[in-house]
Amino acid sequence: MKLIVDDKIPFIRGLAEQVADEVVYLPGAAITAGDVRDADAMIVRTRTLCNRQLLEGSRVQFIATATIGYDHLDTHYLDEAGIRWTNCPGCNAASVAQYVRNSLMQAERAGLIRLAEATLGIVGYGHVGRAVGQALQPYVKRILVNDPPLSIPQATLRDIAASCDIITLHTPLTTEGPYPTWHLMDEQLLSQSERRPIVINAARGGVADEGALLRAMDEGRIRQAIIDTWENEPEVNSELLSRAFIATPHIAGYSADGKANATRMSLEALARHFRRPMVDAPLTIPAADPMRTGLRYNPIDDSLALKQAPQTFEQLRGNYSLRRE
């Protein structure tokens, strides 16, 4: 069995070889139809668009993405072609929660908000949204959640806009179905904001309309933005980059712990699909600098790196300095 692996997936070398007979490591954005033609499986990240153009005529029968999001997978085509696919829900939920909590602590130090008096609105209450709520519950006054597909007591988006001092987005990116999330945070929603919230997007770039965010900042309808995901990655909106309180290169979920979870989940799914034994070898995660661990991690450090050199978005993301939860 031949396996193609994005060469930026951490902790996977030596373990993938225990499941597959042949493993080829390639840059995710550079994987071509020729590379996958004789492959049986792939483990990718968001930089590999898995669609008809890449896969038609190949012998690929299984794809794992070592990410929560899967909008880079053309699932309609994969299902039609009989190619099984899987993602890693919840793998980096604690990492994103750490990023959001620590970013808001920096916002408080900068005088932008008083967390003990704040109402937090969480839009999207899956693995990540729940982890964010748990991480911030000790610090904020009240939490409202919105996730229409879930059968839980929840607020409307109008309630969130009207009542919240912080609005943080944690939905998948979808354009179809009863609850599409493309530009969920748009001009209309932002026009309803009454408490000049801090807006956080650590979900997918297209969930927030970046033009609408900038206009809301101009008009004083939001007090600040914390942006980790961008509409046109790896290109970033230069004006939003310069004006956002924190602007990072899609690394909220990039703790070493979250990456290890995703790698393990992907390999386990691969082994199950091909009915191969998964060698129970531990993923060795190095110790991180204490200043990039737990509550000490400061997202402003990652923000400064991107603001100083936005053209290095992919390098900053692909060579992210070790961080522990």
Instruction: Give the predicted TM-score (pTM) of the model.
Output: 0.88
Q: Which domains does the chain have, with CATH numbers?
A: 2-87+256-273 (3.40.50.720), 93-247 (3.40.50.720)
Q: Which of 45, 47, 183, 250 is catalytic?
A: 250
Structure tokens at 303: 């923000």
Max Cα separation, the chain? 59
Q: Which of 45, 47, 130, 204 is catalytic?
A: 204
Is residue 320 within 8 A of residue 254, CB to CB? The reply is yes
Is residue 123 within 8 A of residue 163, CB to CB? The reply is no
| DSSP E strand stretches across the chain | 2-6, 22-26, 41-44, 62-65, 84-86, 119-123, 142-146, 166-169, 198-201, 224-227, 246-247
233 is a catalytic site residue: yes
Reference 136, options 125, 120, 153; nearest CA is 120
Residue 318 pLDDT: 86
Structure tokens at 296: 């000490």
**Bond prior to 234 in cis (omega within 30° of 0):** yes
SS3 84: strand
273 is a catalytic site residue: no
Give yes or no for residue 281 having a pLDDT over 80: no
250 is a catalytic site residue: yes
Rg (alpha carbons) of the chain, rounded to whole number: 20
Structure tokens at 324: 């522990």
Give yes or no for residue 280 having a pLDDT over 80: no
Q: Which of 233, 268, 314, 325 is catalytic?
A: 233
- Pick the range with the lowest mean pLDDT from 138-142, 249-253, 317-321: 317-321
Query: Model confidence over 180-230: pLDDT tens digits?
Result: 999 999 999 999 999 999 999 999 999 999 999 999 999 999 999 999 999
Mean pLDDT of 40-66: 97
Residue 284 pLDDT: 83
Band (pLDDT 50/70/90 cuts) for residue 130 is very high
How far is residue 233 from each of residues 249, 310, 311, measured CA to CA in Å?
9, 11, 11
